[in-house]
Amino acid sequence: MSEQGGTGRHGRNAGGGVSVSGIGEFGLIGKITARLSYGPTALLGPGDDAAVVTAPDGRVAASTDVLVDGRHFRRDWCSALDVGHKAAAANLADIAAMGATPTALLVALCMPADLETGWAEGLADGLSAEASSVGASVVGGDMSSSPTLTVAVTALGDLEGRPPVLRSGARPGDVLALAGRTGYAAAGLTVLTRGFRTPRVLVEAYRRPQVPYAAGPQAATLGATSMIDVSDGLLADLGHVATASGVAIDVRRDAFDVPRQMADAAQALGVDPYTWILAGGEDHALAATFPPAVALPAEWRPIGVVTHGAGVTVDGAPYDGPTGWDHFR
């Protein structure tokens, strides 16, 4: 696509490395696609007008998430590799939350012209590694110069013959269960915001979420009635399930242990750790509801119940802390 206006021609950026404008669009695309690896779901990878991906059951699950520099990540807090993992995880978790297995990622990358090419390569490595960890591949993308570094990712997935698990299927009497962890990434962000770099387990959780991808298809197979990716904060995301399903959800606070390092950090920083656990996003845990007769495997920890009514409560009472995020406020 042609462009109006233009950036200056910089062969090298301020750091002395080769900049994306120095190498040019096609040079950079070549360098990046050479770093990617392709699994069996990628029938045709980058390099043509479109990629071709398997969709064995005749449907494809598809989700898009965008990360903006300074809002969803900071380059002084996260390496390019981290941002790649993080961007991929945010999207792959959405696919898992439908009960689907991810197959492919496509990436639209907007970069300042003086960005070092190594940053784009690191990003590609992170995206590719996170995708590979679930058998998916980075199959395509686009790049443009932009004043604001932005990574928009689309993930595709295979429902493997099952119906998608929606947000709208929770029923009174269902058990609410959680796979994965909450509060770690939010605690890590608070730690970084206050100028610290440790505890590492929290900071690393913020940099690279550990997503229980396999628990998504597992929940679908077990008969989960609803499921959601916890990206905005547990209570905020359960609020989406409660609204979509026309039910009330109660979370038991004692279902959550506060891990020692989180407790220590909370004390040092003067924060209630349950604010992180109940309202922090970005760990990409999966929350699902199951009929009470379902025997839950170890991956799925009961944390509450679904009842008649509306809204989300904690131990039967409204929660009065912060509950989540709005991207424009």
Amino acid at 44: L
d(CA 207, CA 259): 18
Out of 233, 259, 273, 304, name the contact with its own copies by CB under 8 A: 233
Out of 15, 24, 291, 292, name the contact with its own copies by CB under 8 A: 24
User: Please, which of residues 264-283 interact with its own copies by CB under 8 A?
Assistant: 280-282
Binding of its own copies by 83 (CB under 8 A): no
List beta partners, residue 157.
Answer: 61, 102
Contacting range for its own copies; rule: CB under 8 A; set: 160-168, 175-183, 247-255, 293-301: 160-168
Binding of its own copies by 90 (CB under 8 A): yes
Nearer to its own copies, 48 or 254 (CB): 48
Locate 33 and state its tokens. Answer: 């696609």
d(CA 64, CA 33): 21
- Three-class secondary structure of residue 249 per DSSP: strand
Binding of its own copies by 34 (CB under 8 A): no
Number of residues engaging its own copies in binding (CB under 8 A): 100
Binding of its own copies by 82 (CB under 8 A): no
Locate 112 and state its tokens. Answer: 């300042």
325 assigned ligand-binding residue:
yes
d(CA 303, CA 197): 31
Binding of its own copies by 49 (CB under 8 A): yes
128 assigned ligand-binding residue:
no
CB of 223 to its own copies, least distance (A): 18
Binding of its own copies by 145 (CB under 8 A): yes
Amino acid at 149: L
Q: Which residues contact 212 (CB under 8 A, 6 or more apart)?
A: 96, 179, 180, 285, 286, 299
d(CA 181, CA 273): 13
Based on its alpha-carbon atoms, the radius of gyration of the chain, rounded to whole angstroms, reads 21
User: Please, which of residues 109-128 interact with its own copies by CB under 8 A?
Assistant: 109-111, 113
Binding of its own copies by 329 (CB under 8 A): yes
Out of 116, 125, 232, 250, name the contact with its own copies by CB under 8 A: 232
CB of 210 to its own copies, least distance (A): 16
